[in-house]
């Protein structure tokens, strides 16, 4: 397994380590390995940003950690909150100057559902896959993020919510939310293209001795890298899988998603079938609705026919395209309803997700593009 080294900087970044790796590192530093659990608790339960806060460690060890280690290597360059404060977006600068974005989405309680705080995480600086509807796709690929750079995005918002818990405006009696409940790997980059670092980050966040976020609260979203989907199905960590589908025919999909030429729909669906057979888990198919492009009745039938063989294991998430997209428009509510009804006719469960944060350019890559223009 290739893990991007944590100590490419002068200091060792502790957010890159699983607990056993941290124990090992302490042994190599001639320190007691049992200190690892204490440090892990400070990093992920107390959300410490400074070694001086780790008061159950000997002063000498705190001093040494301050000199030789670090807790994440990212700087927040910009933070925007949507008017309703349900969407917050940050622009982070990495140690080498690369810029990435992360988004916090806050959901008030709904019926029996508890409130949620979901972080949308980036896994690469830029992206190699060039989807035409995506601002990140137009930037090209810079590099993979390390596990610690992925973890640091989640910790940033975790600290923010811990400091100031969120209550939805207009719902003063609902319980405030003070912790991250979900993460989705749907930010900049293709997570399965950065497989090892992504899995490392998920293991770190899943650790019961640390952040303790359940695997079922983590969603990996992919454009459909077939071999990696099969590999993911064999992982002990049973995260949710989402496929960015967006078109039900190869002809249409290849127009907006060049990856489809390498892994066409039948290959992709076959990998999903294998994934379902191995995990017995539902797969979500993301479908960004582009008015006049992929939202017609004919495409709805084609989508229904494509996914019907997966039966109850397929769920379509219809996403009207973000209003800030320059080239595409979202269909109106009637057209969305009609599209969904056809999917139901084919026995395919589906829901619609309202795009959020239009007023802060929440679609992936937009904030970085603006910032870079301004900086230029």
130 is a site residue for ligand SF4 (CB under 6 A): yes
Task: Pick between residue 137 and residue 320 the one whose CB is nearest to ligand SF4.
Answer: 137
Residue nearest to ligand SF4 (CB): 137
Residue among 48, 131, 145, 226 that touches ligand SF4 (CB under 6 A):
131
Eight-class DSSP state of 326 = S
40 lines the binding site for ligand SF4 (CB under 6 A): no
DSSP secondary structure, 263-289, as one string: S-HHHHHHHHHHHHHHH---EEEEEEE
What is the torsion angle, in degrees rounded to the nearest 10, for the CA atoms of residue 244, residue 1, residue 92 and residue 118? 50
- Regarding 13 and contact with ligand SF4 (CB under 6 A), the answer is no
| x/- map, 243-262, ligand SF4, by CB under 6 A | -x------------------
Can residue 127 be called a binding residue for ligand SF4 (CB under 6 A)?
A: yes
CA-CA distance, 376 to 373, in Å (whole number)? 5
**Beta-carbon count within 10 A of 169 CB:** 11
Give the residue, chosen from 134, 150, 184, 204, that forms a contact with ligand SF4 under the rule CB under 6 A.
Answer: 134
Which class for 97: exposed (0-12), middle (13-18), buried (19 or more C-beta within 10 A)?
Answer: exposed
d(CA 280, CA 310): 11
Helices (H), the chain: 19-28, 35-44, 59-68, 147-163, 195-206, 226-232, 250-256, 259-262, 265-279, 297-307, 333-345, 366-375
Nearest C-alpha neighbor of 256 from the set 220, 225, 294: 294
Q: In terms of CB distance, is 91 or 127 closer to ligand SF4? A: 127
Residue with smaller CB distance to ligand SF4, 137 or 357: 137
- Smallest gap from Cβ 137 to ligand SF4, in A, equals 3
Q: What is the DSSP letter of 296?
A: S
131 is catalytic: no
137 binds ligand SF4 (CB under 6 A): yes
Could you tell me the smallest distance in angstroms from the CB atom of residue 124 to ligand SF4?
A: 8
Does the footprint of ligand SF4 cover residue 17 (CB under 6 A)?
A: no
Answer yes or no: 67 catalytic.
no
Q: How far is the CB of 127 from ligand SF4 (least distance, A)?
A: 3
226 CB-side CA count, 13 A: 14
Q: Give the per-residue contact string, 151-190, with ligand SF4 (x = CB under 6 A; - = no).
A: -------------------------------------xxx
Q: Is 150 in the site for ligand SF4 (CB under 6 A)?
A: no
Contact between 175 and 211 (Cβ < 8 Å) = no
Neighbours of 270 (CB within 10 A): 14
The verdict on 228 binding ligand SF4 (CB under 6 A) reads no
Q: By CB under 6 A, which span of 3-11, 89-97, 98-106, 124-132 interacts with ligand SF4?
A: 124-132
- Binds ligand SF4 by CB under 6 A, chosen from 201, 223, 252, 300: 223
Residue closer to ligand SF4 by CB (options 136, 322) is 136
Query: Which stretch in 27-35, 58-66, 67-75, 125-133 sits in contact with ligand SF4 by CB under 6 A?
Result: 125-133
Q: Which of the residues 31, 68, 101, 134 is marked catalytic?
A: 101
For residues 46, 52, 54, 60, the Cα torsion angle rounded to the nearest 10 degrees is 160
Which string of DSSP letters, residue by residue, matches 71-95? S---EEEEEEE-TTSSEEEEEEE-T
Query: What does each C-alpha distance from 276 to 9, 239, 304 come to in angstroms?
Result: 41, 12, 18
User: Residue 129 interacts with ligand SF4 (CB under 6 A)?
Assistant: yes
* Distance, CA of 262 to CA of 259 (rounded, Å): 5
CB of 363 to ligand SF4, least distance (A): 10
> Which residues bind to ligand SF4, rule: CB under 6 A?
127, 129-131, 134, 136-137, 188-190, 223, 244, 364
Active site residues: 101, 364
């Amino acid at each position: 397994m290739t893990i991007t080294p944590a100590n490419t900087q002068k200091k060792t970044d502790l957010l890159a380590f699983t607990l056993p790796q941290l124990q090992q590192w302490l042994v190599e530093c001639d320190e007691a390995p049992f200190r690892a659990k204490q440090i892990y608790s400070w990093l992920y339960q107390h959300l410490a940003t400074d070694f001086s806060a780790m008061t159950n460690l000997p002063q000498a060890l705190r001093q040494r950690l301050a000199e030789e280690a670090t807790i994440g290597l990212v700087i927040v360059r910009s933070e925007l909150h949507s008017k309703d404060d349900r969407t917050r977006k940050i622009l982070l600068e990495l140690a080498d100057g690369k810029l990435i974005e992360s988004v916090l989405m806050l959901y008030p309680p709904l019926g029996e559902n508890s409130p949620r705080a979901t972080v949308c995480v980036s896994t690469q600086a830029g992206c190699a896959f060039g989807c035409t509807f995506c601002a990140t796709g137009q930037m090209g690929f810079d590099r993979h993020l390390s596990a610690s750079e992925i973890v640091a995005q989640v910790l940033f918002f975790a600290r923010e919510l811990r400091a100031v818990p969120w209550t939805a405006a207009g719902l003063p009696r609902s319980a405030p939310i003070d912790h991250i409940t979900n993460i989705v790997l749907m930010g900049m980059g293709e997570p399965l293209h950065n497989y090892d670092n992504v899995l490392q980050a998920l293991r770190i966040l899943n650790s019961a001795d640390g952040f303790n976020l359940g695997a079922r609260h983590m969603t990996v979203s992919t454009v459909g890298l077939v071999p990696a989907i099969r590999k993911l199905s064999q992982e002990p960590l049973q995260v949710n899988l989402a496929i960015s589908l967006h078109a039900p025919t190869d002809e249409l999909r290849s127009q907006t998603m060049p990856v489809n030429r390498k892994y066409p729909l039948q290959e992709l669906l076959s990998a999903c079938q294998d994934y379902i057979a191995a995990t017995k888990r539902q797969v979500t198919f993301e479908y960004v609705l582009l008015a006049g492009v992929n939202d017609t009745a004919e495409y709805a039938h084609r989508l229904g026919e494509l996914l019907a063989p997966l039966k109850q294991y397929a769920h379509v998430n219809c996403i009207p395209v973000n209003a800030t997209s320059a080239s595409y428009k979202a269909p109106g509510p009637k057209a969305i309803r009609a599209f969904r009804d056809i999917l139901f006719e084919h026995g395919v469960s589906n829901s619609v997700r309202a795009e959020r944060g239009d007023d802060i350019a929440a679609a992936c890559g937009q904030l970085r593009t603006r910032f870079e223009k301004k900086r230029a």
